[in-house]
Amino acid sequence: MKYYEREHVDAYARIRAEGLDQWNDLHDEDSARGYDRFAARHALERELPGQGAGRTVFEYGCGTGGAACFMASRGYSVHAMDLVPDAIHIARERAASRGLEVEFEVGDICRGAGPRHPVDYVVDCFCLQSIVADEDRAAVLNGVHRSLKPDGIFVLTTAMFEPARDYGADWYDPDTGIVWTHSSRGTGGARLLGGTWFAPIRRHLRPADLRRELEMHGLAVIAQSGEFGGEVVCTRLG
Ligand SMILES: C[S@@+](CC[C@H](N)C(=O)[O-])C[C@H]1O[C@@H](n2cnc3c(N)ncnc32)[C@H](O)[C@@H]1O
């Protein structure tokens, strides 16, 4: 199992068993958000035209589909994908109960999953920070470039390095931005450090490093905002 799989599979099993709405209900003290108040809503309201009719979107890491349903409700034609079958199960139920048509799919964005045809928008709502390894991030960002029409837009919301964040028992490597967590088994990219296994769990970059990485993969940053620089809008460089 790759390093990004176990945590997400376990999380959605819990979300499904407990009847929760979405990922943040497990992690956020403000658990009364509700399905329609997903974490990236503000950024999507700002960056996407209000009327989406005739426009296509591919969202990866869609979780239980809050953003996908929001975009579909605005008329966008949405293809949304997540690694975890439990997440997609909930997403399909929620879309159906709202009378929304969204093409939901189970797939791994690091293994080349993507839309069949280039789209107007690729959207990432807090998925990229879980993709840690350089080669996996390269697969994702090259895929974003490939998935966009020549004038397409990539809207990325992602967790970033925050100076005051407390990593607790985890270990933040300031050189790479990788967050390592204790791992009981030596699997999924884990390393033995000082007699303890650590597995990579997050990539929290600084704004300039994220920008460089995006540009390295053919994505020109046209706006970068948010308190720590994690709300980013890109076009294709070529
Ligand atoms: C922090 S959660 C955010 C979920 C959702 N976008 C939201 O805002 O509630 C990250 C999501 O990325 C998904 N994910 C992680 N790695 C993935 C991969 N390689 N391919 C597709 N989805 C992935 C996880 O299953 C999870 O749903």
Structure pTM?
0.96
CA of 127 to the centre of ligand 1 (A): 5
> What is the average pLDDT score of the chain?
94
- Residue 125 above 90 pLDDT? yes
Q: Which residues line ligand 1 (CB under 6 A)?
A: 4, 8, 22-24, 38-40, 60-63, 66, 82-84, 87, 108-110, 125-127, 130-131
CA of 195 to the centre of ligand 1 (A): 31
Residue ID of nearest Cα to ligand 1 atom 16: 4
Rounded distance, CA 153 to CA 59, Å?
Answer: 12
- Domains in the chain, please, with CATH? 5-164+204-236 (3.40.50.150), 166-200 (no CATH)
| Per-residue CA distances from 146 to 77, 102, 113, 174, 213 (Å) | 18, 21, 11, 31, 16
**pLDDT tens for each residue of 139-154:** 999 999 999 999 999 9
- What is the residue whose two structure tokens read 């000082």? 194
**pLDDT tens for each residue of 202-235:** 999 999 999 999 999 999 999 999 999 999 999 9
**pLDDT tens for each residue of 178-191:** 999 988 665 677 88
- Residue 110 above 70 pLDDT? yes
- Rounded to 5 degrees, what are φ and ψ at 233? -120, 130
pLDDT at 231: 98
Per-residue tokens: 178: 């990788």
| Per-residue CA distances from 73 to 98, 101, 118, 154 (Å) | 9, 9, 21, 20
